[in-house]
Every structure is written in C-alpha cells, then in structure tokens.
Amino acid sequence: MNQLRRALLKGSGAAGALAVAAAAGLLRPSQVLASEWNKTGFDAKTAEDALKSIGASATSNSNDIVIKAPDIAENGAVVPIEVTSKIPGTQSIALVADKNPFPLVATFNMSNGAEGYVSVRIKMGQSSNVRAVVNAGGKHYAATKEVKVTIGGCGG
Amino acid sequence: MAEPTKIRAQVTGDVVEVKALMNHPMETGQRQDPKTGQKVPVHFIQTVTCTLNGKTVLDAQMSQAISKNPFLGFKIKGGKVGDKVVITWVDNKGDKRSDEVAVTAAG
C-alpha cells in the first residue's frame, strides 16, 4: 500500500514511523484520514531542522520545480505562492520560508491523480528565501526563490 | 461557528482545478491584543483533507504561517463534470468544517 510506504519513508523516529504505519494500515484506502500533524517539523526553529523532520535533509536542486511568487511582497501577511512540480511521480510538496520564526509553512501530500501543483497564500516575517521541497519516489528535490517583504506579517 | 468554505471546482479536459477559500482567523500567537496587551492565543488550521468522489487526493498540513482565511488551489487529473469534491479542515482547537461541491465545466 502506497500510503504505508510513504508513512515509513517520512517517519523521523523508528517508533513514530511504526505508529503511523500501524494507523495507516488499519484504515481502508478510501477512508485514509489526514496523517498526524507533524508537530516536530512545525515547531522547528530553523529551516534545517524543519527539513530533517520531513526526511529531506539532503535535497538536490531541480529546475523542474517552478515557484511563482512576487519578487517584492508589500504585505508580508499575504504572500501568494504557487508551486508547480514537473517531476514525474511527485508525492508531496513542502513549503519552507527560511527566516520565519517557524520555517516550515505547510506540507501537501498528493495521491489518486492529484497533480504536482499547489497554490497558497503565506505569511512572511521578513525578506527571505522560500523553498519548495518535492518528494518524488523517496528522493527530495528543492527549488528556492527570494521574496523581499516590506512589511512583516507575523505581528499583524 | 466556522463559516462555510467557498469551493470552486472546474474541469478542463480531464484536469479538475479546485480553488478553496476557508474561513479562519489563523492566529499566529505572536500578535498582541491592542486593548489588553495580552498575546492572542494561537488558533490555526492544522490539516486539510480534500477528496474527489471519496478518494483522498490532497492531504495538507499547515502551520500558523498560512495567511488568514486560507486559500488553497490544486489540480486533479482524471475528473469529470458532476464529480464530488469535499474539503475538510481541522484546527488546533479541534474545530472542523467540511464542505462539498460538484465539479462544473470551465468557462
């Protein structure tokens, strides 16, 4: 089962991975619930720790990932980000804003025909690189784009 | 208490483009209440699950860094007019909201 394999690949600690795998295995495929919220990753204070929590400490840069974001965002509270991954077999996309207090912004797992595309609006505390990390077949690929923020969006 | 999610799902060829606008304050926990000077507690959507005809297509996890009233756009290959799209979110206080829409033809 694909879901099970992914849970195992993603799990950071062995015990955690087994617990997730067991939970995933018990559910019928049509009823797979949202996997458990990645508290370690979202609480991480550096981009490196955040990437480690999703199992992506080693990434290779890829030109097949396109991040569409403004060069200069006037309002850091609403920064539109669009990520398109042309990598075949894209399973998940993670968004990381390097200099945010909690860099990991969101993760998206695709299945059952969902394309490697996601569009969201994020908050950014200050000018920083935005990273998109794509997981395809267990390998992680990344692309970055710098976004300059004139008014930070974390306090307001 | 949660307001409905606005969802639009349109099919072009066999690709369904879904656009959803959820209604949520998405408090970061870093903002101060101007009246009391107290910090406004964190309150944000943690997981969003999207299904097409009952099959999970997108399983998203979010942090408080997603903007207020989150927008989510994604594409699904292999959909047609009349298919049912359901979007469910759960926040850090356990509140949830589920809304559905039928796929329509684009244009």
| Residue B74 confidence (pLDDT) above 50 | yes
- Record the pTM: 0.83
Q: Give the pLDDT of residue A20.
A: 47
Report d(CA A115, CA B16) in Å as an integer.
10
Q: Which residues in chain B are closer than 8 Å to A113, comparing Cβ atoms?
A: 52, 57, 76-79
| Residue B89 confidence (pLDDT) above 60 | yes
Q: Give the pLDDT of residue A24.
A: 47
Q: Give the pLDDT of residue A2.
A: 61
Helices first, then strands: H and E counts in chain B: 0, 8
Q: What is the mean pLDDT of residues B64-80?
A: 95
Q: Give the pLDDT of residue A32.
A: 41
* All residues at 6 or more sequence positions from A45 whose CB lies less than 8 Å from its CB, including other chains: A101, A102, A103
* All residues at 6 or more sequence positions from A51 whose CB lies less than 8 Å from its CB, including other chains: A57, A59, A94, A96, A133
Closest CA to A86 of A145, A144, A136: A136
Q: Give the pLDDT of residue A17.
A: 44
**Distance in Å, alpha carbon of A81 to nearest chain B alpha carbon:** 10
Q: Which residues in chain A are closer than 8 Å to B75, comparing Cβ atoms?
A: 114-115, 117
Which token pair is A31?
């009823």
Which token pair is A134?
């794509």
Inter-chain touch B74–A115, beta carbons under 8 Å: yes
pLDDT, averaged per 10 consecutive residues of chain A (156 residues), comes to 55 46 42 68 93 88 95 93 95 95 95 95 94 93 94 63
CA dihedral A38→A68→A46→A61, nearest 10 degrees, is 100
Which whole-number Å values give the CA distances from A37 to B36, B61, B92, in the listed order? 32, 6, 10
Q: Give the pLDDT of residue A58.
A: 85
Q: Tell me the backbone φ, ψ of residue A148, rounded to 5 degrees.
A: -95, 130
**Distance in Å, alpha carbon of A152 to nearest chain B alpha carbon:** 12
| Longest alpha-carbon distance in chain A | 48
Closest CA to A12 of A48, A45, A53, A56: A53
pLDDT digits (tens, 9 = 90+) for B20-30: 999 999 999 98
Q: Give the pLDDT of residue B106.
A: 85
Helices first, then strands: H and E counts in chain A: 4, 9
**Distance in Å, alpha carbon of B13 to nearest chain A alpha carbon:** 14
A26 shares contact with chain B (CB less than 8 Å): no
Query: Helix A14-26 and helix A2-10: axis angle, to 10°?
Result: 160
Mutation target for A interface from B16, B50, B58, B80: give the one with most A CBs within 10 A.
B58
Q: Give the pLDDT of residue A35.
A: 64
